[in-house]
A and B are shown apart, each in its own frame.
Chain A
Amino acid sequence: MMDIAATTVVETRRLSRHFGRIRAVDEVNLQVRAGETYGLLGPNGCGKTTLIRLLVGLLRPTTGEAIVLAKTVPNKDILSQVGYMTQAEAIYQDLTVLENLRFFGSIYGVDSTSRFHEVLGLVELAERANSVVATLSGGMRRRVSLACAMLHNPMLLFLDEPTVGVDPELRVSFWDHFRRLNEQGVTIVVSSHVMDEAEHCHRLGLMRNGRILAEGSASELRQRTGTSTLEEAYLALARGINELA
């Protein structure tokens, strides 16, 4: 496991994506190591989703490049190793929970009922396996969406705001589960705009206007800025950039 921990799973070099005049992702350099949880932190519209979509290979970079699992993306070959939980629920509303799992499972060649129930147990939805998704609450649907993303035991998980609409108690169990996945060697890239969640991440990239302002663990970032909370650290860094500009 030690040599895996040393490898870089995601690496970007001056990665940029423009939409017309808007630079959604602007010269981003980042490295995510195997087995860690890397948090992309920043306000809505700062480019987190675009960055994740670039890394998954759903978007082509305007300039720069991204290497994911040793392949320059977009690359189809990595997709069976990647799990992606989108910001939208992205599950079929008129199917039951289990039918959704079966469908997404069959795409990845997962066809074991015990695996479906295992994953449902993790998101605490075992009793709702046969409920039609449309009848579930918003938080439950997000859990189904997460279950679909981890179904095939991916080596690399991209989670776009996974905890939105999830109640605090379950949120804690989500992060526990993410940590266990890390211990198994799974790498997680997670985006969030909630600063206090960032404490759970090994390392953070603070994003603003498509750029990464600073990188490091939560405590490193607080120390560097001489602040006591991550929120203050973020604001201090953002102000610093403004003064430079």
Chain B
Amino acid sequence: MSWHRISALAKRIITQFRRDRRTVALILVVPIVILSLVGYLIDLKPSDTAVGIVNEDVAATSVAGLIVDTLEDVGDLKLIDLSREEVEGQLRDGRIKAALMFPSDFTQNLVTANGPTATLLLEGSDAQVAGHVRGTITTAIQQTLASIPGMEGRLIDVQPSFIYGGPDYSTLDYLGPAFVVLIPWFFVFLLTSISFVRERVQGTVERLLASPLSRIDIVLGYMLGFGIFSLIQSLEMLLFTVYVLNVNCEGSIFVAILIVVIMIMTAVNLGILLSTFARNEFQAVQFVPLVVFSQGLLGGLFWSLDSLPWSLRWLSYLMPVTYANLAVKDVMIKGAGILDWSVGSNLLILTAFAAAFIVLSSLTLKREVA
């Protein structure tokens, strides 16, 4: 062992890093960006969640009205007055995330302490939002009762019921769709960008471009090759998630696979696109934080889009993973089909992303020539 030789090795590594400014920047900047995002997101509560209020209470001094006043004072929820008939439709459309309903005899029942009172109907596809709405409403009710003489210490039994999901759903049921989307995205992006960088490094791209193959042939060939592998991967993942981990899948597994495969087409082309900016495999890996972590945090996978402030949310809408996640969630949790607007529209946007990236990546192949 020789200190001299060991330090020579270490010095060489430091010199190499100093040459590669981008790596140094990445090592120092990316963790801070990610930590601040996580630190910010972790405390984030859903804001402005739309909640329908059905107040049929006929009492002269309505306790229901007082509760609604308190909720309004808290200001966390966006309250919308509805009739009982409108509730279910609005919940299914996603226009409201929950509905709080007071029957006509609400105050009277409260005074006589008789039977069930208010009902809370939750949309339920997002555990975080559901929990937040329940918590806010329970607190508001307690506060209101505490302020009415003679009612202190009274309890109101608010029975929650769920349109989707519900008490049987575990955390895994809610997170399952997120992983079904994020894992193939990660692998396919990484594999394509690395194998394309390899084509560039070993010079085979040059040979392909000097052949009768057109640029679009190359892109489509890559998509087909990786598409087959991603099909196998997403099939395996979905079957494992649903049948081994017993994650609920209300809708068709095949629709979920279709969504993932279209997302993969975007990932393949993004890989080709970004490989232009990497001189070696090492640099290609450095795009992972940018392309994978960022979408994992902001794509609505773990924090619902509704809870993101607009200063971040616009970024989410630029990310293909966001749309794949929304669609897969709707299929797995809500049981939506491909013809449902929520799935169909997101699938269309995803397809548009894939098409745009196909064009962009074939353009970079052209630029490679220069």
Contact = CB atoms under 8 A, between A and B. Distances in A.
B213 interface: yes
Interface in B196-212: 202-204, 206-212
A89 B212 CA distance: 19
B23 interface: no
Contact of A79 (B202, B203, B204, B210): B210
Interface in A23-71: 56-60
A173 interface: no
A79 B370 CA distance: 18
B252 interface: no
Nearest to A56: B210
A57 B210 contact: yes
A91 B208 CA distance: 10
A107 B203 contact: no
B204 A92 contact: yes
A168 to B, nearest CB: 25
A90 interface: yes
A82 interface: yes
Contacts of A82: 210
Contact of A148 (B207, B213, B214): B207
B204 A107 contact: no
Contacts, number: 51
A88 interface: yes
A90 B203 contact: yes
Contacts of A76: 212, 214
Contacts of B214: 76
Nearest to A83: B210
Query: Which size class do A's interface residues fall under?
Result: 20 to 34
A58 B204 contact: no
A59 B210 CA distance: 10
Nearest to A158: B210
Contacts of B207: 84, 86, 90, 104, 148
Given A58-B369, A60-B370, A79 B211 contact: yes
Contacts of B202: 88-93
Contacts of A89: 202-203
A130 interface: no
Nearest to B205: A90
Nearest to B204: A90
Contacts of A56: 210
B281 to A, nearest CB: 13
| From B204, B214, B369, B370, residue with most partner A Cβ within 10 Å | B204
A219 B55 CA distance: 105
A107 B369 contact: no
A159 to B, nearest CB: 12
Contacts of A91: 202, 204
A89 B369 CA distance: 18
A88 B210 contact: no
Interface in B179-234: 202-204, 206-214
A106 to B, nearest CB: 10
B209 A58 contact: yes
Nearest to A19: B370
Contacts of B204: 90-92
B242 to A, nearest CB: 35
A108 B211 CA distance: 8
Contacts of B206: 58, 84, 86, 88, 90
A92 to B, nearest CB: 6
A80 interface: yes
The 4 residue pairs across chains A and B that have the minimum distance between CB atoms? A88-B203, A90-B203, A84-B210, A90-B207
14 contacts: A58-B369, A60-B369, A60-B370, A74-B369, A76-B214, A79-B210, A80-B211, A84-B206, A86-B210, A87-B203, A88-B203, A90-B206, A104-B207, A104-B211
Interface of B: 202-204, 206-214, 369-370
Given A79-B212, A84-B207, A88-B203, 8 more contacts: A58-B369, A59-B369, A86-B206, A86-B207, A86-B210, A89-B202, A89-B203, A92-B204
